[in-house]
Structure formats: C-alpha cells, structure tokens
Amino acid sequence: MKKADLDRLTAAAVVARTRAYAPYSNYRVGAALLTEAGQVHAGCNVESSTFGATLCAERSAVAAMVGAGDRDPVACVVATGGSRPASPCGICRQVLSEFADDLEVHMIAVGSRGEVVAHRQSTLAALFPQAFRLGEARGGGAERVSSVGPAKRAAPKKRAAPKRRGQ
C-alpha cells in the first residue's frame, strides 16, 4: 500500500475513534477500510448495555462500506488508545474474511493529542488462518481447502422412500 493511502486510512481511523460511543468501557476504537476502488470507509465502536449487541469499529466500517455499495477491501487500519496497538477481535476477523481472502491490517495506538505512538502491521491471513466460509459467497466451494490437502466429503446417504399408508 502506498504511504499516501496509509496516511488517509490512519487519519480516517483516528477521526472515527473520536466519534466512538463507549460509555461502559471507555475504550474508543476507530477503523478505516481502503477498497480496490480507492474508497475509504470508516467506523467506530458503538457499545450497548447488552454487551453482545456492541458493534466493533471494524464491523462498523464494513457496514459503512457495504452501505455505500462498495466491496473488496484491501487494507484496514484499527486505531486504539494507549501505548500498545490492539488487533481486531475474532468476530471482526470473521466479518473481514467475508469480503477479502487477505488484506493488510495496520494496528495503531493513538496518544492523547491524536498522534500515532505505536504501529504494528500484519495481514488478515496471518491473524485469521483457515478462515471459515459458508457456501460459495466468494466464488469458492462450500468448503475451504486446507494447506495439508483437499477436504474429504462423505458420499451422501440414500434415503428410503417414505412408506405410505396401507403398504
């Protein structure tokens, strides 16, 4: 990814982080996605008092991307506070894998004045190896092929025809 694109994504993630709704954890997160089309889509975490309904920043950015009619992310920046960057949670990794087999993932820690104090880089494939995919959503088969060989499928069992009354 070009430095200019990384700078645009970082700025969008940092701004999105300031808009987070985090009254319970006070842990504000912003995320931004860059798509093949060159568009940037940002999102922030939105907490709920029923914690299972909380929306992570990465999923919020995916929702913004889909809502804008865009697809195919190629990079993601996740901005958190503190001295160490945080990586996307498992649910976010799964949702990102719905749209990309792999993408760059940049994790940044943001200081009190909005400056980047730490940066880590990885890929979605490294963070989420052997991602689960249901059906043929990405043009593949119903099962993913592992790195150790193709998946084996059992032959379907034949079912006996149902008996009718009087038989």
Name the residues annotated as catalytic: 58
Question: Token digits for 154?
Answer: 């059992």
The separation between CA 20 and the C-alpha centre of its own chain, rounded to angstroms, equals: 17
Phi/psi at 76 (nearest 5 deg)?
-140, 140
Q: If DSSP codes are grouped into helix, strand and coil, which group holds residue 78?
A: strand
Phi/psi at 60 (nearest 5 deg)?
-65, -40
- Say how far apart CA 56 and CA 30 lie, in whole Å: 9
Burial tier of 133 (Cβ tally within 10 Å: 0-12, 13-18, 19+): middle
Residues near 115 by beta carbon (within 8 Å), at least 6 away in sequence: none
